[in-house]
Amino acid sequence: MRILYVCHDLDYWRAHREGMARIMAGQGASVALLCGVAPDAPLPDSPASVARAAAGIPADPGQSGEAVAAGPSIYAELDLFPLARHRLEPWRDLLLGRRVLAAVRHFRPDVIHLITLKPALFGGGALRFAGPKGLRVIATFPGLGRVFATDPPDRRQRLVTSGLRHALGGGMTVATFENPADRARLVAAGVVSQERSVVISGAGFDPAEFPPAPMPAGPAEGAPLRCLFAGRLLQAKGVGGVLEAARLLKAAGAPVRIGLAGPAGGDPDAVPMDVISAMAGEGLIDHFGQVPMDGMAELLARQHVLLLPTRYPEGTPRIIAEAGAVGRPSIVSAHPGCTAFVRHGREGIVLDPADGRALAQAIQRLVDQPETLERMGAQAQRRALDGGFTLAAVTAQFQRLYSGSNSA
């Protein structure tokens, strides 16, 4: 089987989707990747032995896109090109469709997997009108993103919805979503049909990287309750509420330490770093910075509970399942991506609304009732391992789609 993956952002790909491609390559599939990088980021150099545009995909004028052979990596072909992550840039985005068609002509895949909104919109549109007949097309929406955050829909959302309707119509594409609410929204909008869309629980995590860990000492032993927010430090992710909760709990003298881990730069919705640094300097929070993927399990093992009071239009946040695998419950918002994993009172606490005051009250309940931590942590661990959230389970569902099934 020959699979061409198309993704909007290399960092996202490496963190969330490369594991699946590695499994497929290990099972004998020939894997190619067409992936965006930030327009202002230097593109990785190609090996000297590999000529520019070896994949037959020319760089745009004035840009330095490279196509390289895999060598020791998993890729038979790799093409990186500039693409804005946080905004629509119509002319540059439209060139994505040209690259997709060129990659299909050169690589001749059996399956093309479009991951995130831009590849689905621009790549799917190009394939709908100029792609080869019989190509299996999968479009994955790991959340619907900022474009769909407005309600009622604004002009941009209406344009994107119309574009997706044309790009994914015609009966050649199967769309996947990470929670039922996102699927229902695009089905209702006429973008996809119920019959050609499925829900797959996130990107999957590797249980070997997140082994169970005993709960650390807490308030019952005279130690603080340790809470962690891990993710991009965005207002829409609920970071403002986390900071407010930290202030309220500190003022109340609660034995609680709240930590933040994740990147902040480069996003217009990021909480200013000077605010975070100032609160860390006052001793209100612990700031761990951007933790490498291979360090997250150890950080989670030192915590009692994960915090994710998000309102961001994302899919199913993988960090909730990773925390569960370690044996940690979560306090989350009623966002559909969070409740796809956390059932209130079982794998954690669901808040609606999930503002700073509600978050502080939920944390205080865990201080007062520490026995619930062990119970919810054990339930979260069972759900993470047996509920379809592992990388193996997610990959198996995509394999069925690659093989021609319309259901995972």
pLDDT score of 225: 98
Question: pLDDT of 178-235, one tens digit each?
Answer: 999 999 999 999 999 999 999 999 999 999 999 999 999 999 899 999 999 999 999 9
137: nearest Cα among 101, 93, 106: 101
> Which are the contacts of 386, defined by CB distance < 8 A and separation ≥ 6?
none
Please state whether beta strands 225-230 and 305-308 pair in parallel, antiparallel, or not at all (unpaired).
parallel
Which residues make Cβ contacts (< 8 Å) with residue 171, sequence separation at least 6?
196
pLDDT value of residue 78: 92
pLDDT value at position 403? 94
Q: Residues near 69 by Cβ (< 8 Å), separated by ≥ 6?
A: 47, 50, 54, 75, 76, 77, 78
Q: How far is CA 268 from the centre of its chain?
A: 18
Which CATH number does 207-386 carry?
3.40.50.2000
CA distance 348 to 321: 12
Residue ranges for the chain with pLDDT beneath 70: 40-72, 85-88, 265, 407-408
For the whole model, what pTM was predicted?
Answer: 0.89
Nearest to 27 by CA among 407, 398, 404: 398
What are 285's two structure tokens? 């929070």
User: Which value, in Å, is the radius of gyration of the alpha carbons in the chain?
Assistant: 22
On the question of a common fold for 2-204+390-402 and 207-386, the answer reads yes
Give the C-alpha separation, 321 to 347, whole Å. Answer: 10
Domain ranges of the chain: 2-204+390-402, 207-386
What is the predicted pLDDT for the residue at 59?
40
CATH 3.40.50.2000 is right for the domain spanning 2-204+390-402: yes
Residue 187 half-sphere exposure toward CB, CA atoms < 13 A: 17
